[in-house]
């Protein structure tokens, strides 16, 4: 879809009013104020967020500093990075060893090295993740909508049949802090019509669009046929034409439309040709990237794929950081690069914004930012290295982290902002707050960062209080 297509579509939707989005019942939330919000023209139509849940250490990934290899007795305060830097296909830009594949697609995107987060006193993943995903620091008095819900709400579905907001790879049951995760994995006050379709296991995603387990497709479609017959045969049919009843029937229709559509095959990873699927590796995250590509191809608006946040696992390295980072980089390197290449090969990269981000960075020494009252949460405290598990970035650092953006509307082969070369590794150039980062994302997607909806008679803005400013240096 080119730019004018997208504009036309927006226009078309406007004229159509509810008719086109009526398949999704309206939740009654309306824009704040009488002012006509002018949206920027969209640079991308779809967005994929690759979420490095748990706090990805920038110095060991996208912002390498002086490297000191493991050595018994090494003073830990000297350590900045635990991996050497490698060249990328962009002159003068180095990233961390272990990201060799990503290094070869750095020329397709912009690396922000100066993302910053507030210090919330105690560093808690779920609160920072809530903040990152909604733009608001919890607790707040209303349930804030997720970034994906904003896109669903403001932009609507790109393809009426495909859910606009899909969340891949995060279990919401049976993991620590699950309630806290659920609190932001939601459309909040926008209502569940804009909420996520959760697909924690990519290889099982197809089950979400299939008949229930053990039900033959024939039986399933028959059941729906009978459902419609019964609606028609109902002697009170005329008394059911209230908005509650009608919206219920409409939603059943659009659900079954998806479940009986061709688009539903996007959820079925077994339909991907073997050699192309293999390029994504067999990790859950890799399969999630593949699924994201398939869903965006079929017209999903926003897809998040996570390495999964589970307390003390994956990027949440309170100890053994170097070893874990080695594994995590191996998990993401190939599929992320492949996703970019695949989107490009399909001519979709220009209209798809791919973001790789984490709730904060990590540091060998500093919890929060220098001077923070945040308690030290390292599980491998030592002054001098005695064993391998002490080698790694074990503290939560909020003063400077890296965000990678590819595709739709961002500069190619560009680096935005910088962190200091010596500890503290604070963002020293062009810092990008969460508000500004979101404003950048929204601007690319064609959403005015000052867009506000009314809740409890107050405005609720896409970026906190409407203050987010697009980091213009990032845009192509």
Partner 1 sequence: MTRYATTSSLTFLILLLCIQPLPGKIDFVHQVLPILKKNCAECHTEGQKKGGLAMNTLSEFLAGGEGGEVAVPGNPEDSYFLELVNSDDSDERMPPKGSGLTDEEVKLLHQWVEDGMDWPEEIRLGESGWEPSLKPRKITLPIAIFGRTHPIDRLLDRDLIKRKAPLPSPTDDRTFIRRAYLDTIGLLPTPEELDKFLADTKPNKYGRLVGGLLERDVAYADHWLTFWNDLLRNDYTGTGFITKGRTQITTWLYEALRKNMTYDQMTRELIDTKEKSAGFINGIKWRGNVNASQTRNMQFAQNVSQVFLGINMKCASCHDSFIDRWTLQEAYDLAAVFSEKPLELERCDVPTGKMATARWIFPELGQIDANASKTKRLKQLAALMTHPENGRFTRTMVNRIWAQLMGRGIVHPVDAMHTKPWNEDLLDFLANRFAEDKYDLKKFIHFVMCSEAYRSSSSLLSKEPGIDYAYNGPLPKRMSAEQLMDSIWQVTSSNPKNANAKVDRKFDNAKPVPSEILSFSWPEKISANWIWSKEEAPKIKLRKEVTLDEKPQSSGILATCDNAFSISINGRYIARSTAWEKPVKLLQSDLFQAGKNLIEVEAEMFGGAQGFVGQIVLQYENRQEVIETGADWLAQAPDQDWSQAQAVKEYGQAPWSKVLHSQSIQDGKTGTDPPVRASLVANDFLMRSLGRPHRDQVVTSRPSSLTTLQAIDLANGEILSNTLTKGAQNLSRSKKRKDIPVWLYRHALGRSPTEKEERTLLAVTQNSTDHQGVEDLLWLVFMQPDFQIIR
**Interface of this chain with partner 1, residues 214 to 253, rule: CB under 8 A:** 215, 219-220, 222-224, 226-227, 229-231, 233-236, 239-249, 251-252
On the CB side of 328, CA atoms within 13 Å amount to 26
Size of the site for partner 1 (CB under 8 A): 78
Q: Is residue 469 part of the contact set for partner 1 (CB under 8 A)?
A: no
Q: 348 to 377, contacts with partner 1 by CB under 8 A?
A: 374
Alpha carbons 18 and 28: distance in angstroms, whole number: 11
Closest to partner 1 by CB, 127 or 362: 127
* Closer of 247 and 326 to partner 1 (Cβ): 247
Q: How far is the CB of 245 from partner 1 (least distance, A)?
A: 4
Quick check: 385 and 70 in contact, CB under 8 A?
Answer: yes
Structure tokens at 144: 């804030």
Q: Is residue 15 involved in binding partner 1 (CB under 8 A)?
A: no
Which helix (H) or strand (E) segment is 109 a member of? strand 109-115
Of 63 and 308, which has the nearer Cβ to partner 1?
A: 308
Tell me if 460 sits within 8 A of 189, measured CB to CB: yes
* Phi-psi group of 457: left, alpha or beta (phi > 0 → left; psi -120 to 50 → alpha; rest → beta): left
Using rule CB under 8 A, residue 31 touches partner 1: no
Given 6, 25, 321, 447, the residue binding partner 1 (CB under 8 A)? 25
Do residues 438 and 135 touch, judged by C-beta distance below 8 A?
Answer: yes
| Residue list 171-210, contact with partner 1 (CB under 8 A) | 173, 177, 179-180, 182-183, 186, 191-193, 195, 197, 207-210
When asked if residue 14 is in the footprint of partner 1 (CB under 8 A), the reply is no
Least distance CB 247 / partner 1 (angstroms): 4
Smallest separation, CB 51 to partner 1 (Å): 20
Least CB distance to partner 1 at residue 122 (A): 4
**Which residue, 100 or 454, is less far from partner 1 as judged by CB?**
454
Which residues, 6+ apart, have CB-to-CB distance to 362 below 8 Å?
A: 55, 56, 57, 58, 59, 60, 317, 321, 393, 394, 395, 396, 397
- Is 159 a binder of partner 1 (CB under 8 A)? no
Nearer to partner 1 (CB atom), residue 84 or residue 118 = 118
Minimum CB separation from partner 1 for residue 114, in Å? 23
Cβ contacts of residue 275 below 8 Å, gap of 6+?
A: none
Site for partner 1 in 256-295 (CB under 8 A): 256, 258-259
138 contributes a contact to partner 1 by CB under 8 A:
yes
Altogether, the residues listed in the chain come to a count of: 476
Is the CB of residue 122 less than 8 Å from the CB of residue 135? no
Which listed range, 41-49, 65-73, 131-139, 292-300, lies at the site for partner 1 (CB under 8 A)?
Answer: 131-139
Please tell me whether residue 455 adopts helix, strand or coil conformation.
Answer: strand
CA–CA separation, 234 and 411 (whole Å): 59
Phi/psi at 275 (5° precision): -65, -35
Q: In this chain, which of 31, 85, 86, 255 binds partner 1, going by CB under 8 A?
A: 255
């Amino acid at each position: 879809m080119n730019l004018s297509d997208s504009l036309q579509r927006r226009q078309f939707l406007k004229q159509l009013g509810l008719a086109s989005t009526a398949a999704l019942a309206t939740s009654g939330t309306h824009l704040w104020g009488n002012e006509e919000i002018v949206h920027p023209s969209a640079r991308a139509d779809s967005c994929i967020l690759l979420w490095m849940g748990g706090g990805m250490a920038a110095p060991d990934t996208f912002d390498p500093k002086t490297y000191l290899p493991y050595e018994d007795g090494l003073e830990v305060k000297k350590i900045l990075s635990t991996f050497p830097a490698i060249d990328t296909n962009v002159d003068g830009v180095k990233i961390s060893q272990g990201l060799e594949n990503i290094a070869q697609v750095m020329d397709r995107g912009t690396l922000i090295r100066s993302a910053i987060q507030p210090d919330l006193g105690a560093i808690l993943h779920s609160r920072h993740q809530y903040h990152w995903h909604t733009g608001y620091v919890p607790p707040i008095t209303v349930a804030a909508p997720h970034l994906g819900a904003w896109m669903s709400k403001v932009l609507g579905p790109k393809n009426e049949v495909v859910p606009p907001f899909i969340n891949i790879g995060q279990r919401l049951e049976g993991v620590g802090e699950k309630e806290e995760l659920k609190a932001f994995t939601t459309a909040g006050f926008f209502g569940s019509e804009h909420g996520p379709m959760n697909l924690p296991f990519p290889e099982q995603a197809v089950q979400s669009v299939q008949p229930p387990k053990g039900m033959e497709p024939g039986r399933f479609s028959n059941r729906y046929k009978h459902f419609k017959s019964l609606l028609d045969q109902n002697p009170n049919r005329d008394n059911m034409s209230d908005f509650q009843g009608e919206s219920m029937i409409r939603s059943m229709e659009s659900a079954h439309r998806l479940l009986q559509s061709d688009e539903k095959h996007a959820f079925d990873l077994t339909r991907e040709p073997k050699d192309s699927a293999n390029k994504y590796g067999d990790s859950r995250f890799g399969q999630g990237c593949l699924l994201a590509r398939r869903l965006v191809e079929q017209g999903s608006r926003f897809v998040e794929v996570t390495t999964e946040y589970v307390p003390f696992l994956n990027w949440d390295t309170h100890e053994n950081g170097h070893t874990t980072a080695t594994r995590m980089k191996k998990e993401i390197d190939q599929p992320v690069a492949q996703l970019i290449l695949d989107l490009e090969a399909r001519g979709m990269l220009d209209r798809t914004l791919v973001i790789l981000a984490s709730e904060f960075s990590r540091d060998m020494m500093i919890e929060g930012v220098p001077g923070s009252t945040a308690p030290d949460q390292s599980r491998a405290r030592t002054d001098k290295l005695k064993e391998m598990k002490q080698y790694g970035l074990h503290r939560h650092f909020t003063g400077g982290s890296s965000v990678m953006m590819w595709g739709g509307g961002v500069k190619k082969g560009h680096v935005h902002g910088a962190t200091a070369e010596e500890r503290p590794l604070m963002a020293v150039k062009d810092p990008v707050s969460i508000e500004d980062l979101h404003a950048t994302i929204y601007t690319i997607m064609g959403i005015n960062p000052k867009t506000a909806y009314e809740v409890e008679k107050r405005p609720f803005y896409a970026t906190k209080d409407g203050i987010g400013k697009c980091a213009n240096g990032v845009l192509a």
